Each structure stands twice: as C-alpha cells, then as structure tokens.
Amino acid sequence: MVAAPYCAKLLADLGAEVIKVEPPAGDAARRHGPFLHDIPHPERSGLFLYANTSKLGVTLDVASPRGGKILREMLKDADIFIEDAPPAALERLGLRYDDLKRLNPRLVQVAITPFGLTGPYKDYKAYPLNTYHASGEGFMTPTGSDYPERAPVKAGNFVGEYEVGVNAAGAALAALYWREESGQGQIVDISAQEALLLLAASDMTNYAQFGAVTGRSTRNWPFGRLYRCQDGYAAFITLTKRHRAALFTLLDYPDWQKDERLLDQTWLEMHSPEVEVVIERLLAERTRAELFSRPQANDFPSGPSLRPGEVMKSAQFAARGFFTEIEHPETGKLKYPSAPYQFSETPWRVERPAPLLGQHNEEVYCQRLGYTRDDLARLRGLHVI
C-alpha cells in the first residue's frame, strides 16, 4: 500500500507522468484510514490521497488474459515499471523482466519485494511488521529506552515503507540515467529488508567488525535524550563542550562553571543518571516556549517535540510554505505535506489530486491505446476494468 506508491509519487513530484494501475475493486490503501471525518470511504482515505497525488489512475485486472495484454500494451512505451508483486505471481502473469525486455528493451523495471528476488527468502510473504523486524531495527527501537528487556518494537505507522520507497525512487532514477547513456533497460531489485537494514547500518557494522551488540538502551548516542518540560517534551543532544556549556547556561545551572567535569563527554556518560536528575528537575520548571525563545537554545542541537496540531501551526513550516492545499472532488480542499526540498528554478507543484477510481480509463485506454468507448463498456462488463 505504501512503498511502491510512494516511490511513484516521488517520481511524479519530480515531473514524471505516472499512471497508477489498480484492480477494479481499487487499491487496498483506499480501505485504510485515516478517513475524512472518520467515515470509511474509498475516495477519502488519507493514506491513499497522500501517496497518489499527481498520478493518472486506471483500473485493470492484470491477472485476466485481456487485462495482462492491455498492461503489456502500456509497457511498450513506458520508461519505468514499478511493481510490488510476488515473484511467483509475476512469472505466472508473464511480467518478469525477461519477458518484458523483449517487449521494451529500454524498460526499467523496479521490483519491490520483502526480501528481494533472490535468496532462500525470495518467495516469503511479509508485511511491514515482518520486514521491519527482519532488518534488525526493531531490536533497537526505541533508541535510548530505559526498558531493554521489553520485546522489540516497530516504528509507528508505515515509517519503514516510506524508507523503502525513497530507496526505490533513487535507484529507479539511477537506472534511468544509465539507460540514457547505454540505451538499455534493466531490473532494479529492491529488498525491503535490506533498505530497512540501512537504518541500522553503523550498528550492524559494529557487530560485524567488533562483535558489539547494540540494543535500544545501548545505542551509541551522545549525552542527551528526550526530556519532559512543563508542557510537553524537548530533545537535547550535546556533541561538544560548547554544546554542553550552552545547555547548562540555558537551564540557569551555575555549577557547571565551577566543575569542569560537567563539560567532559566521557564523565557525563559515566555519571549520566545523577546529572540527568538535575536536568529533569530544571526542565520540569520551564515551558518549551520559555526554553526555545532564549538565545542559548540556538547554540546546540535541541528542539521541542511537537504534537500534530503544533506541527500544523509551526511558524517554520508556514514560512517555507511546506503544507499546501489540494482540492479533491470528494474531499474538497485539504492540507498536504509538500516536498522536503525546494528548487530555485523549478518550483515543486502538484499536477493533480489523487485519482478517483478509474478516473483516467478513457484518457489512457482510448486516447493513448486506441480503444473505443464501446470497448471500454465491454471490458467493464467482463470486469477487466
């Protein structure tokens, strides 16, 4: 529901024309919340609306002989084919890269699977819960926890799947660039397990080289963590003596000037329990606004932990125009996150909202592939579209 659609969304955001192919009953994401006003509706899923902006949308039963033929007609002129089907299903449908490269030698096929197209796990089924834990990241989540004995935890929602989509989009563009140089397409084999393992690459390297096992309570972060303030939480991390001096100045803790040990990273890590009791007491007396309005807050890595409503009202996001309004025929205008980058010459923009189910069937099948409206009526009757 997320990794492949998000990969395609990132390419659409960069200007690619993307056609989303859904089964006649619709993408499963249409049945996944959150829904506008908490009323389930296939055109009002926040997940689907976000992950499919700027795309054309068609319906097609690719498992039927007629649907498979139509898909191959579309792929004749495509640059990139993004799919997340099990390898056995692709073989059954005649959609493996070896089949498609005879049809379109310049095609880049991006195959997103839980464990990759090779190896003993290549046919294993998995959902985000499975691949997140298979990467090792769950064992270290949440970082800095005081409860190392608790069972591994997956990061909330679809964080891992978005990470997989980012990796797939970057790899797709690299393959497309190589095609422009060589004239040849290729298959891009994306393993969700491997993409997620990169989140813990340094921890895995430490184990491979030194046998050091990193857990949620021993992950090597500098002195600092998430602390409770009077009205919420704030995160502080100190990397240098200057950072540590700024923290103690911010907290109006004069003893740091009398005790040089408080500026020493090693000493702080060894005595963190007693030092953090003092930090917690001082922070509990202050609001986040009091803390972060002071000049010292600019002198070291720190920031408030924002609630969703606070994120939407953030002056920083507002100044950068990060949230943008998109009008959709079923939901009206809603605010969406835009892109985490800005180009000086080619501003980011939304070409269109997420498609309604089958919205562009006529445009794609009739105007591009040469089918007639009567053909579409027959295909609907056969449940092919």
State the average pLDDT for the chain: 91
Portion of the chain with pLDDT greater than 90, in percent = 67
Confidence (pLDDT) at 100: 97
314 has a pLDDT exceeding 70: yes
Token pair, residue 45, equals 């899923």
What's the pLDDT band for 238 if we cut at 50, 70, 90? confident
Both tokens of residue 47? 């997940």
CB atoms within 10 A of CB 107: 21
Of 131, 127, 125, 132, nearest in space to 154 by CA: 132
CA 55/CA 12 separation, integer angstroms: 7
- What is the phi/psi pair of residue 364, to 5°? -80, -50
Residue 114, number of CB atoms within 10 A of its CB: 22
Pairwise pLDDT comparison (206 vs 374), residue with the higher score: 374
Q: How many residues does the chain have?
A: 385
* pLDDT band of 294, cuts 50, 70, 90: confident
The reported pLDDT for the residue numbered 144 is 66
| Percent of residues, the chain, with pLDDT higher than 70 | 97
Which amino acid, 297? A
Report all structural domains of the chain as residue ranges with CATH numbers, in order of start: 3-201+317-381 (3.40.50.10540), 224-307 (3.30.1540.10)
Confidence (pTM): 0.91
| pLDDT, tens digit (0-9, with 9 covering 90-100), for 64-108 | 999 999 999 999 999 999 999 999 999 999 999 999 999 999 999
